[in-house]
Amino acid sequence: MFDQIKQVIMITGATRGLGYTLAQHFAKQGANLAICARGENEIKTVQNELEKYGAEVVALSADVSNPNDVERFISVTENYFGHIDTLINNASIFGPGPLYLADYPDLALKNVLEINIMNPFLMTKRVLPGMLARHKGSIINLTSEVGKTGYAEWGAYSISKFAVEGMTQIWADELIDTGVRINLVDPGEMDTAMHKIAVPNCEYELAQPSDVIDVFDYLASSESQFVTGQRFEAQSFTRKGV
C-alpha cells in the first residue's frame, strides 16, 4: 500500500499514457504532484484534473532532455514543496518506425538517444542533492522488454532503453548505502499511443496503464526502502516474495 502521507511524487511525461495514469493514481492516494510535459496546454489541463482530487500540483511545460528545463522544473518544485520523495522518469519518445537500423535516419537516431538517455540522466543528477541531504528518496526509471533483448525494427528506442538499464545499474551501485534507491520498471506492452507507433497492426490484447500501478506504489513506499538496482516487470509483479 502506498504510504498515506503527503509524499511529493515527480513524474515526467505526465499528460498521456502511463505518466497520466500514474499522476491520477497518486493524486487520488493523497500525494502531492510535480508533473511536466512538453505541451503547455496539456499539462495545465492535467493539473486542473489532479487538483480536483485535493492534490497540490506543480505543473510546468518542460523538455527534460534540456538541462535548463530540468533545472527550472526541479528548482520550482523544491522551492514549493521543500523536497522530492519519488522521481518517476517516464518521459520518452519512440521515434520513426518500425524501421530496420539500415534504414534509420541518422538525425532521428541521434534525437531519440539524446531525449531518452539524457532526460533520466539529467533528472536523476539534479534530484540527487536533495535526496542525499535527507538520506532517502526513490527514483524509478522506465524500461522495456526491448531494453534487454533487441528485436528487429525497434530501432533507437530499443538502443536507448539498453542504455537506461545500464545507467540505472551504475547509479544503484554508486548510491549504495546512501538511503537513495533507484530501480527499473518494465510496464510491458500497453494500449498507448507509443505502442500504436511501435506495433501499428497489433492484433493481440494489450494491458491498460491502470493495470501496472502496483509496482509503482511499492517502489514509492517505505516498504521498498532497502530495494535498489532491481528490475521489475510490472504486469507480473506481486508483493508476495519481494
Which residues are marked as active site? 157
User: What is the Cα–Cα distance from 109 to 94, expressed in whole angstroms?
Assistant: 10
**Type and span of the H or E element at 17:** helix 17-28
User: What is the Cα–Cα distance from 35 to 184, expressed in whole angstroms?
Assistant: 19
Helix axes 40-51, 17-28, angle to 10 degrees: 30
C-alpha cell at 80: 514549493
Q: Which one-letter amino acid corresponds to residue 61?
A: S
Give strand pairing partners of 8: 32
**Which residues have CB under 8 Å from 109's CB, separation 6+?**
95, 155, 156, 159
Give the ranges where 82-138 is alpha helix by DSSP (H): 106-134
What is the pairing mode between strands 57-61 and 32-37? parallel
